[in-house]
Amino acid sequence: MPVDVENLSCVYAKGTSFETTALRDICLHIEDGEFVGFMGRTGCGKSTLIALIAGLVTPSTGRVLVDRKNINARNYDRAELRQKVGVVFQYPEYQLFETTVERDVGFSLRRFGRPKDETAAHVKKALELVGFDFEKVRALSPLGLSGGEKRRVAIAGVLAASPKLLILDEPVAGLDPLGRKEFLALLDRLNADGTTILMISHNADALAEHAKRIVALRDGEIVLDGPAQDVFADANVLRENSLGVCQTAALAGILRERGRDIGPVTKYDALIEALSERAATRK
């Protein structure tokens, strides 16, 4: 499902002493099936941009088209947007409130008025997608689960509606390394199945491994937009824009400085490959 952001600006608290320009004249085209990572320092406008794409904030100027339809038009069917676009906010586990896991995950489907048996099947599938045994977990209170489990339940609630576009704001913050790895693998599977993914993260390593394209913001403007491999391969440009460097590219940079150039490497497997090749040719 393509997304077009056209000359979008967002000013909060306009005309008051708190007036803040969060975004200036943003243009962005996202193709169906992309996996885009958004990065940039706190306050640069990442959350505002995805809230605008999700139709949760109204632009000051410009417009957003989701599936070629202007979501800010007066006659736009917002129910359609809510069914097509899933949003996982920061710390989604704080939004759990139902008495059982099954009811919580089925909440939005019930609200959309889907039939009971269809809802039950989607809830089961969504819980299995995030790694739960449905029968074991369905009747538990979500509030009694561990932090990582709560987050998986919250995400299952978004996935149950089978969104075509999945937007995630810092989804791996606070997850332990294994939970993070499993969660990112889930995003890869969803993306491979055709879900368009937009993910904000401060974790440069996660973005380098999983996003195919990176959009970096600074003071409300886009400063970098390109394939993840290219963006992370240029550590100087990242530093100039106060952005994080991924560890694989940083290591390749250190080796280059020491006269052992292994080329631009941004993924862990590619790093291992390049180092093994070098070791083999030295024998």
Ligand X SMILES: Nc1ncnc2c1ncn2[C@@H]1O[C@H](COP(=O)(O)OP(=O)(O)O)[C@@H](O)[C@H]1O
Other beta carbons less than 10 A from residue 156's beta carbon: 26
Q: Would you give the binding string for ligand X spanning residues 37-56, x where CB under 6 A is met?
A: ---x-xxxxxxx--------
Q: Would you give the binding string for Mg ion spanning residues 22-51, x where CB under 5 A is met?
A: -------------------------x----
CB 165 → ligand X: shortest distance, Å? 19
How far are the Cα atoms of 47, 70, 75 from residue 38, in angstroms, in the given order? 9, 22, 30
Nearer to ligand X, 42 or 281 (CB): 42
Report what 75 binds from ligand X, Mg ion, none; CB cut-off 5-8 Å by kind.
Answer: none
Question: 188-225: string of b/e by CB count within 10 Å (b at 16+)?
Answer: eebbeeebbbbbbbbbbbbbbbbbebbbbbbebebbbe
The Cα 59–Cα 101 span in angstroms is 35
The Cα 178–Cα 201 span in angstroms is 17
How far are the Cα atoms of 126, 156, 164, 184 from residue 152, in angstroms, in the given order? 10, 6, 19, 12
91 binding ligand X? (CB under 6 A)? no
25 binding ligand X? (CB under 6 A)? no
CB 260 → Mg ion: shortest distance, Å? 38
CB 204 → ligand X: shortest distance, Å? 15
201 binding Mg ion? (CB under 5 A)? no
Binding segment for ligand X among 12-20, 107-115, 204-212, 245-253 (CB under 6 A)?
Answer: 12-20
Nearer to ligand X, 9 or 247 (CB): 9
Residue 168 burial by Cβ neighbours in a 10 Å radius (0-12, 13-18, 19+): buried
What letter represents residue 140's amino acid?
L
12 binding ligand X? (CB under 6 A)? yes
227 binding ligand X? (CB under 6 A)? no
Nearer to ligand X, 12 or 134 (CB): 12
Report what 22 binds from Mg ion, ligand X, none; CB cut-off 5-8 Å by kind.
Answer: ligand X
CB 46 → Mg ion: shortest distance, Å? 5
C-beta of residue 82 within 8 angstroms of C-beta of residue 158: no
What letter represents residue 115's amino acid?
P
CB 87 → ligand X: shortest distance, Å? 14
114 binding ligand X? (CB under 6 A)? no
C-beta of residue 49 within 8 angstroms of C-beta of residue 217: yes
191 binding ligand X? (CB under 6 A)? no
244 binding ligand X? (CB under 6 A)? no
The Cα 56–Cα 48 span in angstroms is 9
What letter represents residue 130's amino acid?
V
Residues that bind ligand X (CB under 6 A): 12-13, 20, 22, 40, 42-48
Per CB under 5 A, residues contacting Mg ion are 47
